[in-house]
Amino acid sequence: MAIAVCAAITLLFLDFTGCLHHYWGWLAKVQLLPAILAGNFIIVAVLAVLTLICGRIYCSVICPLGIMQDVFARLGRLKKKNRYNYSPAKNILRYIFLAIFIIALVTGIGSVVALLAPYSSFGRIVENLLSPFWIWGNNLLAYWAEKTESYAFYSVDVWLKSGLTLIVSILTVSVIGWLAWRNGRTYCNSVCPVGTILGFLSRFSLLKPVIDTSKCNSCGLCARNCKAACIDSKQHSIDYSRCVVCLNCISICKKGAITYQRRKSDAVDQIKNKDEQNIDKGRRSMLAGTASLATVSLLHAQEKTTDGGLAIIIDKKIPKRNQAIRPAGAQGEKHFTSHCTACQLCVSACPNGVLRPSKNLETLMQPEMSFERGYCRPECTRCSEVCPAGAIRLVDKAEKSAIQIGHAVWIKQNCIAANEKDICDNCARHCPTGAIQMIEQNGKPAAPKIPAINTERCIGCGACENLCPARPFSAIYVEGHDRHKTL
């Protein structure tokens, strides 16, 4: 079940067609931090209750970064079995990272939140490291299909959206992968703020792995196979704040001394004088399935898909903007930056190549808009449909076409028509709101007409900037608005 969940979430970031979000988009919305930021308190309550009943099953079944760590840990086990050892909890370190995370979340320091949020880290890893290979494979299939006069596949551009984000992704997967390969869930139990929060709740969980000292022969197999390093076989105790309910200890114990059940005593981790029970090795699959079904049953998120255009390949430089452009539905800079976790699901889903990670230190890796490769088509609402954290609120097509996210600015010295080189009206012809009109130049009735912008009608879609033939900078660029408004 865990592998299926991780594979589905991975495909959400790899899918450039938008088809899979209709079926699996809810998996992004049940991640803890996005659910909190989006105000989905039903989901938060379900995850809290699930933890209070079953323990940290979220970390084993729902969190994709946790599942990814298990993959690296399994690779480490191929080299050496029974490789783990009990280690005391690093509580000071855990709570320091949690405090930093909460302070960053409250004060709106998105770059720190983005670095520590587990779901966001996984999303960046997939988007920056796996997506290029996925698209190259698709393009190869498109090439072969074209040879047979089939159009089942189409080519998609592969381009570097942010070199800095790529470096961060490489460092993230390297550090987390090495820690997992070396000693299992070290990152989950020492750094991850979500793991620390759920670890506090799991101390009081109803169902827990319990050691029966009357059956235990102190062989230590459970401790040497615990990827959370939370079983002290000498003391017959389990640190439930770090246990991720993988149940490896139950399946490896040859004496059946560990069972997953209601813990009768909070003072000691043991049960006495209990009848022999057969170990059900299918229990972990049943538990994982129950957890997923419980989450899905209370989630009422409907995903929509819309067709979007393909980004036009152009060779332009990014103009310097005083205010970053945020997508329609973001409401404005403050709302967007305080809710966005920089998971980059919207970046991977954007069919027009408009969104890319920010290089600004304050909003590091949060998406912003630029129009060198395409423009934001009024009929496309893909980013608002896939955002799990509420940073981009869901908008329909009619609503989006009336939301002003910025306004166009004309640069006379860059304009072909203003320099009387040639007649050009690309910006006016392609403006979807009719905000640009071509007028005569002052005192030059015979000269080519130049654009005049009605900023009250402009919505900041970037069609004029994208389709302007001027090089290397467009004669028209879009300046973002700090607060969006409806025209």
What pLDDT score does 304 carry? 37
Banded model confidence at residue 287, pLDDT cuts 50, 70, 90: very low
Q: Does residue 273 carry a pLDDT above 60?
A: no
Q: Is 256 left (phi over 0), alpha (psi -120 to 50) or beta?
A: left
Mean pLDDT over 41-66 rounds to 95
Q: Does residue 258 carry a pLDDT above 60?
A: yes
Q: Does residue 320 carry a pLDDT above 60?
A: yes
Banded model confidence at residue 443, pLDDT cuts 50, 70, 90: confident
* Of 260-264, 351-355, 359-363, 459-463, minimum mean pLDDT range: 260-264
Q: Does residue 270 carry a pLDDT above 70?
A: no
pLDDT tens across 183-215, in order?
899 999 999 999 999 999 999 999 999 999 999
Q: Above pLDDT 90, what percent of the chain?
A: 69
pTM of the full structure: 0.83
Q: Does residue 9 carry a pLDDT above 80?
A: yes
Task: Please tell me the chain's helix, strand, coil percentages from 3-state DSSP, rounded to the nearest 5.
Answer: 45, 10, 45
* DSSP-derived 3-state class of residue 1: coil
Q: Does residue 280 carry a pLDDT above 70?
A: no
Altogether, the residues listed in the chain come to a count of 487
Q: Does residue 221 carry a pLDDT above 60?
A: yes
Say which DSSP state 127 is in. I
Mean pLDDT estimate for the chain? 87
The pair of three-digit structure tokens given for residue 400, joined into one six-digit string: 């989006």
What pLDDT score does 323 carry? 94
What pLDDT score does 411 carry? 94
pLDDT tens across 141-200, in order?
999 998 888 888 888 888 889 999 999 999 999 999 999 998 899 999 999 999 999 999
What pLDDT score does 300 carry? 41
What pLDDT score does 154 carry? 87
pLDDT tens across 69-86, in order?
999 998 887 777 778 889
Amino acid at 195: G
CA distance 351 to 135: 13
- The two counts, helices (H) then strands (E), for the chain are 23, 10
Q: Report the b/e string of 274-295 with b at 16+ CB within 10 A.
A: eeeeebeeeebeebbebbbebb
CA distance 89 to 111: 27
* Of 98-102, 263-267, 321-325, 468-472, minimum mean pLDDT range: 263-267
Contact 343, 121 (CB under 8 A): no
Banded model confidence at residue 350, pLDDT cuts 50, 70, 90: very high
What pLDDT score does 264 carry? 60
Mean pLDDT over 112-123 rounds to 94
**Among 26, 35, 12, 183, residue whose Cα is nearest residue 117:** 35
What pLDDT score does 263 carry? 63
Class of residue 388 by CB neighbours under 10 A (exposed 0-12, middle 13-18, buried 19+): buried
Mean pLDDT over 43-72 rounds to 94
Mean pLDDT over 398-426 rounds to 91
